A and B are shown apart, each in its own frame.
Chain A
Amino acid sequence: MLLIQCPYCGPRPELEFAYGGQAHIARPLKPADLNDDEWAAFLYMRVNTKGVHAERWRHARGCNRFFNALRDTTTDHFLAVYKTGEARPALNTAGGHS
């Protein structure tokens, strides 16, 4: 079971969280302006990263807030957590312990 750092509550077991998929996919402000291909890309196209993945989590059984995290999908180590709306942090190192 992963140990996940909620930016509001601190480290909590994975059981308290709900996964929210890939982060930084903003809903288009005017969906009507998108053609079908663009809309399909927004709806369905997701990366399948081997390595650092920016993803959303919700502390569903805690503070109930969404936040973003950088997780290395090869190790499951969290490299950073940050609040919704904040920019994806730059990483100095490629890995390390959580």
Chain B
Amino acid sequence: MTQFRAAKGGRIDRSSAIEFEFDGQTYKAHPGDTLASALLANGVHLVGRSFKYHRPRGLLAAGAEEPNALVGVWRDSARYTPNLRATTVEIYPGLKAESQNRSPSLKFDRAGINGLFSRFIGAGFYYKTFMWPKTAWKSLYEPTIREAAGLGRAPTQADPDRYSNRHAHCDVLVVGAGAAGLSAARAAAAAGARVILCDEQAEMGGSLLSDVHTRINGLTASAWVASVLQELKANPRVTLLARTTAFGYFPHNHLGLNEKLTEHVAAPKPDQPRERLWQVRAAEVVLAMGAIERPLVFPGNDLPGILLADAARTYLQRYGVKVGSVVAVVTAHDSAYQTALDLHAAGVKIAVIADTRAEVSGDLAAQAWAAGIRIQHNSTVIGTRGKLRVTGIDLGQVSGSNVQPLESIACDTIIMSGGWTPSVHLHSQSRGKLVWDESLSAYIPGQTAERTRSVGSCRGIFGIAASLADGTKTGAEAAGTTSSITYEVEETRLANTGFIGALPQPGGKPGDKAFVDWQNDVTTKDLALAMREGFESVEHVKRYTTNGMATDQGKTSNMNALAFLAAGLDKPIPAVGLTTFRMPYTPVTFGSFAGYSRGELFDPVRRTAIHDWAQAQGAVFEDVGAWKRARYFPRGNEDMHAAVDRECVAVRQNCGIFDASTLGKIEVVGPDAATFLERLYVNSWANLKVGQSRYGILCREDGFVYDDGIIARLAEDRFHVTTTTGGAARVYAFMEDYLQTEWSDLSVWLTSISEQYSVIALQGPAARRVLEPLVTGVDVSAQALPHMGVVSGFICGIPMRLFRVSFTGELGFEINVPSDYGRAVWEAIYASGQPHGIVPYGTESMHVLRAEKGYIIVGQETDGTMTPDDVGLSWAIGKTKPDFVGKRSLARSSMHAKDRKQLVGLRTQDPKLVLEEGAQIVDSPGQKAPMRLIGHVTSSYHSAVLGHSIALAVVRGGRARVGQTLYVPMPTGDIPVIVTSTVFYDSEGAKLHG
């Protein structure tokens, strides 16, 4: 093995060696390694180039907080995942990974030159550079910046994997399986609670997995973890979710968990889901998210080979990897001493421990002394050496506010610790308050907004014994009880010290290239510039400098930026405030969010009973809401226009059959049914006789047309109401609203019957001859069943509601039969129509036919600002009714203004020219923008029956303009149009009554 693999230790499987690839080169690793630990074992520290300046970067951390080591990992061309943190990528045989944001290679990067121009692309450069000329943004600046500054590339093919989705409920959800989380889960489970314990890592145990010194109940920390996990696994009321990140805390204790299922598997089974999104509703939540070590901010602190002290310990004790050969330690916290001692014991030379503190006491410092390690107090770092890897550290000596250069020490690695920042992310996401703890120099959870509790170091309780006690007490509390579980712990006590902000520099200057936010390349100079330019609010500084806005959400940078800001503004930290934590805690894939909702399952599809017949006939379908509707039925090589022309002519000359099943249908029943409709619709209903129907218009209270449809009275107390296809659900809800909340005095029941009935429209001069032989118990003659007549009877022995109605202007029937019989009845009618030249027609022809008659479609001729009168339907309003929904609004004077947009017809001079729907209308030619727009085209078709194009439009004062010439300005010039009546065909309505 390589010289950086420790002789012993770690949780890797040394008996097995596997190969992986990074930037085209093959390396060896052991099962249990992460990509990060495997690269370090091979002596590779340079793993990426930074976002803005393309500076060479190495690993800073060992966990999810890693800001630098973003890599692309792929199995094949469709499975490429960019921006993964190398620290969380588990090694498997044959893993292929590459670094990002470098061209052509990591070691030589052209854009590395950005560093030379860094003074031009500092804070706020997006806002003040490249401002002119405007067009250059799109063509020059933005593409160049995007090329230079960026993250990984997106995969180019559709994601072939499956993503699962599961809802779960539990009494106690514990997030994080370190000492605090494990003890909380154990205490809650002991109380009989249903527990879910999740942890983002492959192995549960948190920091205990890299702790080789602490003893719990006489066991090593990792042995204790194993025993607790065994106990929890055996409990059927406990669910353990490893590789599962709680990424979002949503209202009412609803948490989003992302479980990685196959990312670590060399050859996932094809039917195995790749990730699972858990949506957990927890009665109680226990957050045990731990703490993140803070980097120290000093000039040149971003060179490869400079990393967090605890990360170095994790690499050594969990992965058996030495981070370097000669290590300099810079610290403000005792814990780095343990790392130094561990490294020392593994044979790594510790060049110096540079401690920022004036005094250090305690066991660890004594052990370091005893081991002969040089300890330098009152230290600061004033610079580093090296290009692609650190080669030395320049120490400074602090005395009071004075900083003097001390000496330069050669090293190949610097490990640093500024102390620990509690991970309050989920607590903050849950809208819990944060409070500043002066003694810890940290924000910790304050008042909660949800039923949630934080335990252990994420609330500032440090140390294994304290965390176990806190977890036990709180886990039991969450389960509604108390616990008698106690733990015997032998551990080294550490002082809770730390350093926040930037290490002092000679002359009190910020120093060069002292990075605060590694991922977004934000330095102390950028923050200082923002303050000089007047930015004082932490939220403003964040956005101006982009500090904390990268994919790591500032896990390692927020506190240092805040403290630097507070020092610059001469305010205490809590007075500067903290930016809000947002979900996701770590990035979540789109696949996980999409889950099963892809392809055919993306959106539910509604099909009518006649759908398959239409499909067999070669119908072309269109989406109308969730419905699939047959748009036209092409024959031979017909295009849509040819098919529609043929269908329309056939309906007008012979007979057409149309599937109108998608119409909304509501049965309104009860002694007060007529009164209910009287109050709701603009029309009169009291005088509608049984066996008759009427065209009804529904307005909202604001007086604008909301829906329309035919309403039939089947009995004194029973109405069959139809709505538009798209309006079915909202009209039903609208009715329920009035019935339940305004007119509870009415005895009425509403039932949606949209899907219970197939509706077959039979239209054309031959319609009666086609229908007659099939029906029994009804007389369909013009005398017995006049236009708008309704009757119940049988067709082919099937009970039907027969409406004599027409949306084409021809003699027409709408046959309502139970959906189960829809297809059979349809086929019977179609067969009966063969001698009469029957054709099936689709929605496109339906549109043309109704437009020829000037019938409106709600949502096409209306747009939520049209009154019944605007669309020429004032005749439908029950003039003597004291009230109906919308009546009061229609009485407002503005509703009668002469220049309201009114529905008219339009004819073009060129009969072949079909206007564009949505085109604007002006009243004089040759206008320059901004033109005075007086209306727009709402419907426009070629009419084969009439031999010319027709259009409907809404035009200011339109009805008074009939006969005038108006203009439709188009890119090709003004199109003159003549304003006409809305009825283009059979204006006397003779055919309707045939």
Contact = CB atoms under 8 A, between A and B. Distances in A.
Contacts of A36: 892
B744 A85 contact: yes
Contact of A32 (B279, B702, B891): B891
B733 A18 contact: yes
A60 B702 CA distance: 24
Contacts of B891: 32
A89 interface: no
B250 A27 contact: no
B740 interface: yes
B254 interface: yes
A16 interface: no
Interface in B441-482: 449-451
Interface in A17-37: 18, 20, 26-27, 30-32, 34, 36
A58 B888 contact: no
A66 B744 CA distance: 12
B252 A76 contact: yes
B251 A39 contact: no
A43 B889 contact: yes
B744 A58 contact: no
A85 to B, nearest CB: 7
A98 B882 contact: no
Of listed B250, B450, B740, B892, residue having the most chain A CB within 10 A: B740
Contacts of B250: 1
Given A34-B888, A66-B736, A84 B252 contact: no
Given A39-B889, A58-B736, A84-B740, A2 B252 contact: yes
Of listed B251, B450, B888, residue having the most chain A CB within 10 A: B888
Contacts of B611: none
Given A2-B251, A76-B251, A32 B741 contact: no
A26 B744 CA distance: 12
Given A64-B736, A75-B431, A84-B740, A3 B888 contact: no
A84 B741 contact: yes
A20 B252 CA distance: 20
Nearest to B700: A43
Contact of B883 (A18, A30, A66, A98): A30
B281 interface: yes
A97 interface: yes
A27 B449 contact: no
A31 B888 contact: yes
Contacts of A18: 733
A88 interface: no
Interface string A65-98: 1100000000111000000110000000000011
Contact of A58 (B254, B702, B737): B737
B742 A27 contact: yes
Contact of B741 (A56, A64, A75): A56
A18 B732 CA distance: 13
Interface in B517-572: none
Given A1-B250, A2-B252, A39-B888, A84 B744 contact: yes
Interface residues of B, number: 27
A66 B741 contact: yes
A97 B736 contact: no
B742 A20 contact: no
Contacts of A56: 741
B887 interface: yes
A2 to B, nearest CB: 5
Contacts, number: 59
A15 to B, nearest CB: 10
A84 B737 CA distance: 11
B166 to A, nearest CB: 14
B717 interface: no
Contacts of B451: 97
B394 interface: no
Contacts of A75: 431, 449
Interface size class of A (residues with CB under 8 A): 20 to 34
B742 A26 contact: yes
A64 B742 CA distance: 16
Contact of B450 (A27, A30, A66, A97): A97
A8 to B, nearest CB: 12
B342 interface: no
Nearest to A39: B888
A13 B451 CA distance: 17
Interface in B722-746: 733, 736-737, 740-742, 744
B251 A66 contact: no
Interface in A43-67: 43, 56, 58, 60, 64-66
Of listed A1, A18, A60, A65, residue having the most chain B CB within 10 A: A1
A63 B744 CA distance: 17
B742 A3 contact: no
A17 B888 CA distance: 30
Nearest to B743: A27
Given A3-B254, A66-B741, A43 B733 contact: no
A49 B395 CA distance: 57
Contacts of B281: 3, 13
Nearest to B281: A3
A66 B250 CA distance: 25
Contacts of B251: 1-2, 76
Interface in B870-893: 882-883, 887-889, 891-892
A98 B252 CA distance: 7
B701 interface: yes
Contact of B701 (A20, A43, A66): A43
B733 A58 contact: yes
A9 B744 CA distance: 20
A96 to B, nearest CB: 10
A2 B892 CA distance: 40
Given A43-B702, A60-B733, A1 B252 contact: yes
B867 to A, nearest CB: 15
B740 A65 contact: yes
Contacts of A20: 737
A65 B739 CA distance: 10
Nearest to A3: B252
Of listed B252, B281, B736, B887, residue having the most chain A CB within 10 A: B252
B481 to A, nearest CB: 19
A31 to B, nearest CB: 4
B883 A1 contact: no
A81 B888 CA distance: 32
A76 B892 CA distance: 38
A2 B251 CA distance: 6
Contacts of B450: 97
Nearest to A30: B883
Contacts of B742: 26-27
Interface string B389-413: 0000000000000000000000000
Given A3-B254, A76-B252, A32 B888 contact: yes
A20 B279 CA distance: 26
Contacts of A2: 251-252
A32 B737 contact: no
Contacts of B882: 30, 32
Interface in B236-277: 250-254
B929 to A, nearest CB: 33
A64 B956 CA distance: 42
Nearest to B679: A27
Contacts of A32: 882-883, 887-888, 891
Given A32-B887, A85-B744, 4 more contacts: A3-B281, A31-B887, A32-B883, A84-B744
Interface of B: 250-254, 279, 281, 431, 449-451, 701-702, 733, 736-737, 740-742, 744, 882-883, 887-889, 891-892
- Closest 5 CB pairs between A and B? A31-B888, A3-B252, A76-B251, A66-B740, A27-B742
25 contacts: A1-B250, A1-B252, A2-B252, A20-B737, A27-B701, A27-B742, A30-B883, A31-B883, A32-B882, A32-B883, A34-B888, A36-B892, A39-B889, A43-B701, A43-B889, A56-B741, A58-B733, A60-B733, A64-B736, A65-B740, A75-B431, A75-B449, A77-B252, A84-B744, A85-B744
